[in-house]
Structure 1
Amino acid sequence: MNEAREIANVCVYCGSSPGHDPAFQQAAERFGRILAENGVGLVYGGGNLGLMGAVARAAIEAGGRVVGIIPGFLAKREHMLEAVQELLVVDDMHTRKRLMFEKADAFVAFPGGIGTLEELVEQLTWAQLGRHDKPVLIADLAGFWAPLLGLLDHMRETGFIRREYEARYLVRDRVEDILPALRAAYAATARPRRALPQEF
């Protein structure tokens, strides 16, 4: 059993755009500060735009540790943030996602677009298939993820998410509640952390 039950790093999936509601960027900045204030590192997609840039810059400014992982072809498009303590420029999206998984103890999905949705759903799928037991939390700020949560309920109701293969995730709608929820879920996990196999 893993004796260290404290989360060291949280991976945040979020948009490379700020969205139309300023509250989203404010929430991302607040979460970056919360991570730093609690000595928890941030793992994220390496860009300096949108919510991605907001959460990373806020964490850095508050004295936190940030790991950015970005594919080379996105370095210019997403304005790679070079101020992070550890910046990994990788060959492709698959390598980026694997490293983000390996370096994080838990995952949070803030508002974002198709890429954020894909990253979130991939983690839910891997958890559902028993490939990892790290906490996954959906930050449903201002009801942003309500359509997805409704779809997941619909999948259960129509028999496509079976009870024995439940998609395990947490939902919080306040930024201040995210880290406590992740910590509690992480501490409650009885079995050792599992890593993804070479082929996933």
Structure 2
Amino acid sequence: MFKKIYLVLILAGLAAAQTNFEIATKKYLQDMGDKNVPKLYEKSCREDKNAVGCYIAAQLKAYQTYDLKDDDEHMRINSEVFELYKSACDLGYAKACSAAGDFYDSTPSNDNFVVEQDDTEKSAEFYEKACESKDGEACLKIAKKYDSASKFADALKYYKLACEAREAEGCYNAADIYESGDGTPKNSAEAAKYYGLACENGLGRGCAKSKKFSK
């Protein structure tokens, strides 16, 4: 009898020792539609400073805005989503930094949302943080922003960082800048190098350009 009670107490203790993130994940795997799951992930974010918990909570909350007709509710949820992405970013989760940057890029400029549409400086700030953590997609995004603004030297810097993270398009665009000489002296050797890297990372047109430079 005492052994059974002791075993129950041990199991209860183990259950109590579970982190908020573990509890949230367990519930999510049991029932993806459980409305308490986002709150549990958010709890892991706020109480445990779990960056991934912040990120997942943000994504699950974002799903709640699909087909939402109530403007005030839409604004409230989007505000929470953005703050959760920002929290995850501040805790060092690169994907969340990129997601926060996307929020500025993709959010329509109306009363339903928290931030103004296409705030280049703000989105660039978040993309830079993500890029510093070797998020190649974020490096590519900020490079394209600089490219569109004809800031080719800055674009080249971030295209090369994207390339280092194996983003083939970053390699290709870096090569294109070296070939054209936009914002930097023309450099055929560097162009050939980066077209070659674009090819190695699976971009067909990079292979075609690389062959052209190898002739």
Larger strand share, 1 or 2: 1
Q: TM-score, normalization: structure 2? A: 0.26
Larger helix share, 1 or 2: 2
Question: Which one has the largest radius of gyration?
Answer: 2
Q: TM-score, normalization: structure 1? A: 0.28
